[in-house]
Structure 1
Amino acid sequence: MRIALGIEYGGGAFRGWQSQAGGGTVQDALEVALAAIAGQRVGALCAGRTDAGVHATQQVVHFDAPVERPLSAWVRGVNAHLPEGVAVRWAQPVDSAFHARFSAHARRYRYLLLNRQQRPGLWQGRVGWFHLPLDLAAMQAACAALPGEHDFSAFRAAGCQAKSPVKRMRHAAVRQCGALFVFDFEASAFLHHMVRNLVGTLVYIGKGARPPTWIGELLQMQDRRLAAPTFSPAGLYFRGPVYEPQWGLPEPADDVFDGLL
């Protein structure tokens, strides 16, 4: 039976999602916990790999259960074997044709940026930080250039392994909640470091170093060397993939932001 899981985690405690030699990743921790319930090795595939320090409010994974267990075992049982900082939110049987990555037609990310003179204390590791005042209207004007299909080479990490830099941005927006700036992006897929590079560029615009039209110029020039530096992973949250209703999976959960935004 194929099972889908919804998982949340704080990226600061892990070396990213993808399994690595020496362990320390979310995938390593999850597969150990799944094996404890299944009594044998279980491989899990995710909707979108995240880097070290990046968080997830709803990472979706799937695995083929080698034994029959109640769904509660794949939630409470697995959670009993997971380290602090990662937890299964839900488990659901899915058709064998479902694939956590390839069945998704879009993905959502959110970046939280603390904008004040003092560095974060309580929210250290959970938000990005910039100390100079930012112009919300300028950043919002810049975001307007992002929706649509573009070559995002200017916002692509040098080591990105994606076959094509062309992606369709479905939504790009920024809003302010007190001292927090909230950046939201939804696209067909994202390149390596793409969101963090977009946020870095928007911050340059927000601080007045560049005009809002700069982001459109960067899209046209397709040269990563001309854009702003990559921003910190601390404020980046993978909000989950978007699937067709036919799969019957829960919508991405934003309750972790309740009381904050």
Structure 2
Amino acid sequence: MRIYLKISYDGSKFQGFQQQTSTKNTILNKLILALNALGIKDVPVGSGRTDKGVHASNQALHLDIPPFWSDLKKLKIMLNRHLNPHIHVKKIYHVKKDFHARFSPIKREYRYIFYHGEFSPFLSSYVHFYPSFDMERLNDILELFKGRHDFEYFKKNGSESKNFIREIYNIKALPHKNKTIVIIQADGFLRSQIRMIISAVLKVYEGKLTHKQIKDQLDLKSIHTETLSPANGLYLHRVFYPKDIYK
């Protein structure tokens, strides 16, 4: 019986999403331990990997569970007893057997949060502290990345994908109280792609790079920046699936 888990987590408490040989402190490893404690041996598959320090409001996973776990409400309660406080199962759905958390999405949305107030150690793991923006200028720079591009020069080495073409459907910055939230929706993302894009945008905003240099890097003519913005401001906000996945 295949299920779809929708979870949130505090990425600052873990060394990343995926299992690693160097540490057991990963989100997936914590999930596996919780599932095993409930007699579920299948290894969950996530919609994608998040780096160390990156958070998720709505990460998606699938796995197959034994028939004795037909009560999904009870399963959610029991999982959260093992996972809280840094991981939380929000929803569990029955889905069709061919549903795949990684390959079934039609688009994904990440959000990057800048905070313009006074520094606080209580917020430092969850936002990127930065002076206020001229929103028109910021959105003008973000617009450079919209559309279908080969993002080979905007990814971190080690990406599993051999195809670097991605389409960014929407990328914009919105003010919210003393924050700026950058929303990015695309058909998919490469390893650390968003953090590299945000870093490049800030360099253009600060006058360290030009619009033309960004265009040249998108056109694979030259590399002008490979730095990453801090992970703490980044959130996997939503994974979009077709409506017919549910059983």
Tell me if both proteins adopt one fold, taking TM over 0.5 as the criterion.
yes
CA positional deviation for 1:212: 4.3
Taking structure 1 as reference, are residues 232 and 180 closer, same or farther at Cα in structure 2, changes over 3 Å only?
Answer: same
Deviations 1:178-221 (A, max 9, x none): 43221111111101111001111111222233344543332123
Residue equivalent to 2:219: 220
CA positional deviation for 1:122: 2.8
Taking structure 1 as reference, are residues 74 and 134 closer, same or farther at Cα in structure 2, changes over 3 Å only?
Answer: same
CA positional deviation for 1:241: 1.5
Deviations 1:26-71 (A, max 9, x none): 111111111222x252310111111110000001111100232211
Taking structure 1 as reference, are residues 175 and 214 closer, same or farther at Cα in structure 2, changes over 3 Å only?
Answer: farther
> 1: distance between equivalents of 2:127 and 2:137?
21
Tell whether the 8 Å contact from 2:94 to 2:246 is kept in structure 1 after alignment.
Answer: no
Tell whether the 8 Å contact from 1:17 to 1:51 is kept in structure 2 after alignment.
Answer: yes
Tell whether the 8 Å contact from 1:153 to 1:222 is kept in structure 2 after alignment.
Answer: no
Alpha-carbon RMSD: 1.9
Residue equivalent to 2:126: 126
Residue equivalent to 2:207: 208
Residue equivalent to 1:255: none
| Percent sequence identity over aligned pairs | 27
> 2: distance between equivalents of 1:9 and 1:167?
26
User: What letter corresponds to residue 81 of structure 1 in structure 2?
Assistant: H
Matches within 5 A, 1:1-261: 1-21=1-21, 22-37=23-38, 39-69=39-69, 70-116=71-117, 118-130=118-130, 132-221=131-220, 223=222, 225-227=223-225, 229-248=227-246
CA positional deviation for 1:121: 2.6
Tell whether the 8 Å contact from 2:96 to 2:246 is kept in structure 1 after alignment.
Answer: no
User: What letter corresponds to residue 159 of structure 2 in structure 1?
Assistant: C
Any idea what SS the aligned residue of 2:214 has? Answer: helix
Deviations 1:58-109 (A, max 9, x none): 0111110023221112211110111421010011111101011111121110
Tell whether the 8 Å contact from 1:34 to 1:74 is kept in structure 2 after alignment.
Answer: no
Number of aligned residues: 245
Residue equivalent to 1:253: none
Tell whether the 8 Å contact from 1:134 to 1:203 is kept in structure 2 after alignment.
Answer: no
> 2: distance between equivalents of 1:185 and 1:102?
19
TM-score by length of 1: 0.87
Any idea what SS the aligned residue of 2:83 has? Answer: coil
> 2: distance between equivalents of 1:93 and 1:166?
32
> 2: distance between equivalents of 1:188 and 1:72?
31
User: What letter corresponds to residue 83 of structure 2 in structure 1?
Assistant: L
TM-score by length of 2: 0.92
User: What letter corresponds to residue 88 of structure 1 in structure 2?
Assistant: V
User: What letter corresponds to residue 189 of structure 1 in structure 2?
Assistant: G
> 2: distance between equivalents of 1:156 and 1:163?
12
Unaligned runs of 5+ in 2: none
Taking structure 1 as reference, are residues 138 and 212 closer, same or farther at Cα in structure 2, changes over 3 Å only?
Answer: farther
Tell whether the 8 Å contact from 1:29 to 1:83 is kept in structure 2 after alignment.
Answer: no
> 2: distance between equivalents of 1:122 and 1:52?
18
Deviations 1:100-159 (A, max 9, x none): 11111211100001235x4333311001123x5533222211222222210112211122
